[in-house]
Structure 1
Amino acid sequence: MSTRSLYLYQPLGGKPSSPLRDVLCNPVRCTAILLVVALSLGSIGFFMIQQPWGSVLAPNMSFPAHETEPSVSVDPSIPEVPPPVAEVVATSVYHPFVAPSPADSIVDQRVRPIKAHSVLSDDCLDTWVSTGQWQPPCHYDMVQDATIDLVYVWVNGSDVLHQKARNELLASTKYKTKDARFREHDELRYSLRSARNATATWPNSTWHIITADVPDPNTNNNTAVDHNRRLGLVPQWLDIQCAFRGQDGHPPIRLQHDSQLFRLTGRPGAALESANATDWLDKILPSFNSHAVESQLPQLDPRIVSENIVALNDDQFMALPLPPSAFHTTLYGQVFRMDPNLMVGGDSSGSADGGGEWRSLGWSAHLLNERFGTRKRPYMHHNARALSLPLMHELSLAFGSYFAATPLSQFRGSHKVAGEYEVNTIFMSTQYVIERHREALLWSWVVAKWGRAEGLLTRDLKHRMWLELGGAEDDAVTLLKTEGSAEDDVEVNLLMAGLQLPRAFDAEKQADTTYSWVSMDGYNPSFRSSLPQSVLQRDECIGKDEESAWDMFRRLLKESPSCGDNVISSLIQSSESGLSVFLPPPSTQNIRPSPSDPIILPLELPAHAPPLPRNPRAFVVRLLMRYAYVLGDSPTIFMGLKSPLQGERLLKAADQTKDVALICINDDLGNGDQTAANTMLRSWFQRRWPEKLECEL
């Protein structure tokens, strides 16, 4: 059924088509819909004819058991979050809290599994990963639309106490920063309104607003609790008790504050103690650096925050309804929106502007090069971004010392010590997933499939590997230009799983999201919808001499990354769908899972091979699912406002772009333009999203 040689979706800007015609003239989509209907009717028919409860008779066919009334139990590990208490200081409302102690400010170094995958059997995952088709033993309604939480990072730089604390630190450090970083145009109110309209169909979503905090001026500091007492900034227009509960179907809104998030990380496996955390906290707090705050997003409590999140700034808006699949599905993973025309290269010099993004981007790309091999990587669109909390946490463990160094810049770019520059968490979080999936493919094929327990690639094995790559007796394999999975395959799989489609039937009523590349198609070094033609050289990439499987894996992964790319492309080109060609053979023994089984490859790349897992195939199937991702696209607008006149033109153009899904309005205004620009923006926001949230004051 799969056709890798077809475009997945019509590129943006193509000739619009009729939604009804798309359905009626697409036989695969029609077939999938009929199959889903048949399965649903079959299920209804079965329940109508089955014997009454308690009957000794049984139907003559076996069906999976389903509980009609599943028992409800309270998970004791889930903390009860107390409702917020509002405290008025002068004329402003704050959220008082006690900051964590140093002992509680140390990272949890346990790698987190993906909870959504734990309900899927090994047989289902093996079939899905190996074939790329959602078919038995996977079945309809086995997975649900992803639960996705929104996570906002927000600061009200106009708050009097925040201004006081900021100015005191600026004076003591003699550092200067841009006022625009802390200006307030009431963006958060309207960003939340836009999200309410856009995410109305999302199941069980909670919204989290991470806000700055300041010392409580009314404390006497006589006790440790007094010393750690803080006031969290609160949107003054929001009833935080009402928002906490959620009203009339609106998702609950939870407040968290910067000082609650900071956790000390170190190199993988490093022993960290309270004294280390005390010293670190003294150096980094208070923080007025959004890069520092974002570096702590991996430390959001997984008992409170969903494992799938969409991260937003307050200047980012959702302009149309978006299904959960626009950001995440259990089948295909996170949806990354990248700009392949803006590539980021590694830069360890720290010479780029630290007040913007580029020093952190270059430094982050350098760290990725050191771990996975040197290449340029695409910039992440500056808009709502899909992220995985367990994978962000894993990233913070893998690069722990660099995440710990990031908050040393209490303002953006203020800490200029070589090797201690700020990481760009959003950029690293997306690229890390892509690199780890590529790493899993190469490890599976080289180490688990061909190296096996012996770990040695003889001349004969290398010859057989070359034949599998399509090399025959030639010393080179020409890799043709290839493109991602067909649109029909993706839509059929999502329909067969019972999930909403990311494509829109009417792009002016629902945002249209395309999947231009899925990780089931291997690795795409161009980050576009197709792979360019290339050549795989035998001597350069595979060789003929005996070597350890681990050495070849390291070489393809990091030392000669283009060889690794071509190996993956060659194997993908030789298969119809799925990743079965990469997988080791199934285990001949019935090996039951054990809590001691690893769930990831080493965080740091060791010189020598670690032991193979007890069941290599089951391990790598779940590994590939863990790092599944999509390269996607939605109509997006980014506008950097430089003057009120230019802003009016940009906002008018945004209004005329009826299919735009995501909008970002970045404040690049000069100080003299503030009054006119503020009036213009608030007026546009109100026209665009006039309906109040249920808990607005």
Structure 2
Amino acid sequence: MSYGYEPIGAKHSIRERLFFSPVRCTAILLTVALSLTSIGFIMVQRPWQSTVLPNIFSPPVTNMFGPPVPEVVSANVYDPFVAPSPSEAIVDPTVRPIEAHCALSDECVDMWVSTGQWQEPCRHSMVQDANIDLVYVWVNGSDPLHRQARQELLAKTHYKTKDARFREHDELRYSLRAARNATASWPNSTWHVITADVPDPDETDDNRRLGLVPQWLDIECAFYGSPEGQPSIRLQHDTELFRLTGRPGATLKATDSSTWLQKVIPSFNSHAIESQLPQLDPDIVSENIVALNDDQFFMLPLPPSAFHTTMYGQVFRMQWDLLVGGDSTGRADGGGEWRSLGWSSYLLNERFGERKRPYMHHNARALSLPLMHETSLAFGSYFAATPLSQFRGSHKVAEEFEVNTIFLTTHYVIERHREALLWSWVVAKWGGASGVIDSAQKDQMWRELGGSNSESRRDNETLTMLAPERTTGDNVETNLLMGGVQPPYSSDPDRQADTTYSWVSMDGYSASFHQFAAKATINRAECLGREAEPAWAVFRRLLKDSPSCGDNVIASLIHASKSGLSVFLPLPPPEPTPPSPSDPIILPLELPLEAPPLPQNPRAFAVRLLLRYAYVLGDSPTLFLGLKSATQGERALVGADKKKNTALLCLNDDLRDGDQTAMNGVLRRWFERRWPEKLQCEL
């Protein structure tokens, strides 16, 4: 009998297995021949890697394309590419799962979300440190082709913009050097640099474009990564990312994207470029990313858990004292961030209820690619409108202002987690299969919140709860260690950056965005009522119509236990019920008036949903320096050197025209003192 595999129990000597198998023999000969050919080619074409062959044979598995072939135009190096066709420039509307969560069993996810303890059956599910890619957005405004294209569009549109938006101080080179030092322990990381692009002046084909390249970088070398383990550096270009999005459920055609592309390309607007980061190819880019500008620097080593963990989610860093309210008027400054911030907060208000939200620290930001993509689907028409501003703030049409992608995506995740808590408790737990909550159930809900059913207080009962006692924060380090993850804390913050998890979504929702409310006050008539009504109506009221009611309901329920979210969850089904393939993996992107069908296993759906939107509000020592002149900048950098525990630094260009040359010298000297060792592929 001929087997396509070796039968169990078959015993052969090494000699027999190696030489008497025609398939193996042929494979070995082919491997040897191809290896010899590859070695000869590599020795000639890739001298920088000729001494470390294993790295060459194993380029990063995420690579879906061949190595770059640089093109030289007037002594400048470019990365040529063909722009996506209109049919390719349409967003994929499929909501993406988070693969790291899919690897966890239903039993483990249920135990983790309900108890907040990484215990059986999770103990054997070592999640390890998250795989995180760095994504830089970079432009060299002094590039001659970029400057020419920019000036032509400014003349055509009669618009003026600040040169500082495009100035280059060679920051990217040193930001990457800093990243090499700070992220040396990160597993399987790749660095992606999103650069501007311009038409190819030597081609008549408008679809052929030239991507800008840092002139100090050997992009062929960088593509393969360093033999010493330095991550590969992949260049991607603005026009490659642009995808047309529409309202959820909209059917988009190539003619739509063709018309849209003609309006938005070329783009010289960082808000527009960031609005396309959700369209990064998931086959190339990790689902966990840290997004940076070239003027942002890692100052000390940080473990991956300072930005992402599979268990607790993304780590968001916020400025509690800088709140952004919704603004749909467009009157705020469009040349800066404030118009986009106000507009983004307004869109969040329309979807989730009105509140002010804190600004994100202007530094390295943790983002989830699947959740960024989901956000772009939920607000599709607004993401499509953002690049209509080819320069920041240039498009002033109402309802078509620019979104602030980082702010919008971050707060979307926080709001979706809050939504999942309220849906689980109201719709799945109390509404159940009937979808209706009767008056007796409302009495039970009120008791679960901590209230009473005294007839004497029936008409206007109000409940007040003080801040709960929870052990969630005490358990973080143990849980991470049990999952095989290095905690983000540091006992020597001058040598390794110290990051604190000041709030984790395992504690529900914080209306102050960093701690429990001192007390939660709930008026039953306003928040729950007494009459029977659809569970979806109660859910919508707590979610959007009266968000303070929803906040206080969550705060009151948290009193039920010391850790975990079990009080929010429906009971498990009597018999094990696997999720139905027809069930969605998320709640609707737009909030419908009527309830969508209940998933086949509401509890399994709820715990997966809560894990999907898990997040951390974290604190690390950060520093933001506005550089106004060479003298002031030099003093500021001396001060930065004295702050030994700074984890993240941003150097913002606030220079007056004419101060650039002097500031370049100051920065170069400081950069070389801080990060003197070249990257492997620096020319």
TM norm. shorter chain > 0.5: yes
| Counterpart selection for 2:449 from 458, 469, 489 | 469
For residue 416 of structure 2, the aligned residue among 412, 430, 436 is: 436
Q: Which of 92, 95, 106 is the aligned partner of 1:122? A: 106
| Letter paired with 2:447 | L
CA distance in 2, matches of 1:396, 1:171: 32
Identity in percent: 72
CA 1:78–1:382 in structure 2 vs 1: closer, same or farther (change >3 Å)?
closer
What corresponds to 1:673 in structure 2?
659
Q: State the alpha-carbon separation in 1 of the partners of residues 452 and 580 from structure 2.
A: 41
The partner residue of 2:136 within 127, 147, 152 is: 152
Residue 394 of structure 1: aligned partner: 374
Which letter maps to 1:566?
N
The CA distance in 2 between the partners of 1:488 and 1:547, in whole Å, is 40
Contact 1:484-1:529 within 8 A present in 2 as well: no
Q: Which of 533, 541, 552 pairs up with 1:547? A: 533
Q: 1:417-432 to 2 correspondence within 5 Å?
A: 417-432=397-412
Structure 1's 201 and 484: CA in aligned 2 closer, same or farther, altered over 3 A?
A: farther
Letter of the 1:541 partner, please give it: C
CA distance in 1, matches of 2:557, 2:578: 30
Alignment of 1:74-473 (within 5 A): 80-140=64-124, 142-219=126-203, 221=204, 226-247=205-226, 248-473=228-453
Where do 5+ consecutive residues of structure 1 fail to align? Answer: 1-52, 56-73
Distance 1:100 1:643 in 2: 42
Whole-angstrom CA distance in 1 between matches of 2:321 and 2:467? 19
- Using the TM superposition, give the Cα deviation of residue 485 of structure 1 relative to its aligned residue in structure 2, in angstroms: 4.3
Query: Are the counterparts in 2 of residues 84 and 241 from structure 1 also a CA contact under 8 Å?
Result: yes
- The change in CA–CA distance for 1:623 and 1:589 in structure 2 (over 3 A counts) is same
Give distance in 2, aligned partners of 1:187 and 1:83.
25
Q: SS state of the match for residue 624, structure 2?
A: strand
CA deviation string 1:644-686 (max 9, x = no partner): 2221221111100000000000001100221211111111111
SS of the equivalent of 2:81 reads strand
Partner Cα separation in structure 1 for residue 584 and residue 9 of structure 2? 43
Deviation for aligned residue 1:553: 0.2
Contact 1:261–1:297 (Cα < 8 Å) also in 2: yes
Query: How many equivalent pairs are there?
Result: 620
Match of 2:627 in 1: 641
Larger mean CA deviation between 281-290 and 673-682 belongs to: 673-682
Deviation at 1:575, TM superposition (A): 1.7
- C-alpha distance in structure 1 between counterparts of 2:472 and 2:586, whole Å: 30
Deviation sequence 1:200-241 (CA, Å, 0-9, x none): 00000000000000000010x2xxxx2200000000000101
Supply the AA of the counterpart residue of 2:448. Answer: E
CA distance in 1, matches of 2:208, 2:530: 66
Runs of 4+ displaced beyond 4 Å = 482-486
1:26-52 CA-to-partner distances (Å, cap 9, x unmatched) read xxxxxxxxxxxxxxxxxxxxxxxxxxx
Q: Which moved more, 1:476-485 or 1:575-584?
A: 476-485
- 1:629 corresponds in structure 2 to 615
Q: Give 1:132 shift.
A: 0.3
Q: How does 1:656-671 map to 2 (within 5 A)?
A: 656-671=642-657
Q: Distance in 2 between matches of 1:309 and 1:667?
A: 25
* Alignment partner of 1:579 out of 560, 565, 588: 565
State whether residues 472 and 562 of structure 2, in contact with CA within 8 Å, keep that contact through their aligned partners in structure 1. Answer: no
State whether residues 127 and 483 of structure 2, in contact with CA within 8 Å, keep that contact through their aligned partners in structure 1. Answer: yes
1:674, 1:237 → 2: CA distance?
20
- Cα distance in 1 for residues equivalent to 2:9 and 2:612: 42
TM-score, scaled relative to structure 2? 0.89
Query: Residues 228-255 of structure 1, C-alpha deviation per residue, up to 9 Å, x if partnerless?
Result: 0000000000010110000120101100
Q: Structure 1: how far apart are the matches of 2:235 and 2:62?
A: 17
The one-letter amino acid of 2:309's match is T
SS in 1 for 2:480: helix
Q: 1:387 to 1:484 in 2, by over 3 A?
A: farther
Q: CA deviation at 1:505?
A: 1.6
* Cα distance between partner residues in 2 of 1:414 and 1:196: 37
Distance 1:107 1:91 in 2: 37
Distance, in Å, in 2 between the alignment partners of 1:414 and 1:193 is 35
Alpha-carbon spacing, 1:653–1:264, altered in 2? closer, same or farther (3 Å): same
Whether 1:620 aligns to 2:612 is: no
> 1:120 is matched by which residue type in structure 2?
L
- Say whether the 8 Å CA contact 2:446–2:452 is kept in structure 1: yes
Q: Distance in 2 between matches of 1:92 and 1:488?
A: 55
Higher RCO (C-alpha under 8 Å, 6+ residues apart)? 1
Amino acid at match of 1:243: A
Q: Would you say the 8 A contact 1:470–1:570 is kept in 2?
A: yes
Letter in 2 for 1:127: M
Structure 2: where are the runs of 5+ without partners? 1-7, 11-57
Superposition deviation, residue 539 in structure 1: 1.2
- Look up the match of 1:18: none
Residue 244 of structure 1 aligns with an amino acid whose one-letter code is F
Aligned to 1:517: 503
The answer (yes or no) to whether the contact 1:484–1:530 under 8 Å persists in 2 is no
Distance 1:484 1:392, change over 3 A: farther
Q: Is the 8 A contact 1:140 1:496 kept in 2?
A: no
* 1:58-77 alignment runs, 5 A limit: none
Asked whether the equivalents of residues 483 and 531 of structure 1 are also in contact (C-alpha less than 8 Å), the reply is: no
Structure 1 residue identity aligned to 2:383: F
1:641, 1:659 → 2: CA distance? 21
Matched, 1:692 2:678: yes
> Does structure 2 conserve the Cα–Cα contact (< 8 Å) formed by 1:484 and 1:518?
no
Distance 1:188 1:485 in 2: 42
Q: TM-score, normalised by structure 1?
A: 0.88
Taking the aligned partners of 1:483 and 1:211, their CA distance within structure 2 comes to: 49
Alpha-carbon separation, structure 2, partners of 1:497 and 1:528 = 25
Equivalent pair of 1:485/1:518 in contact (CA under 8 Å): no
Alpha-carbon separation, structure 2, partners of 1:537 and 1:684:
59
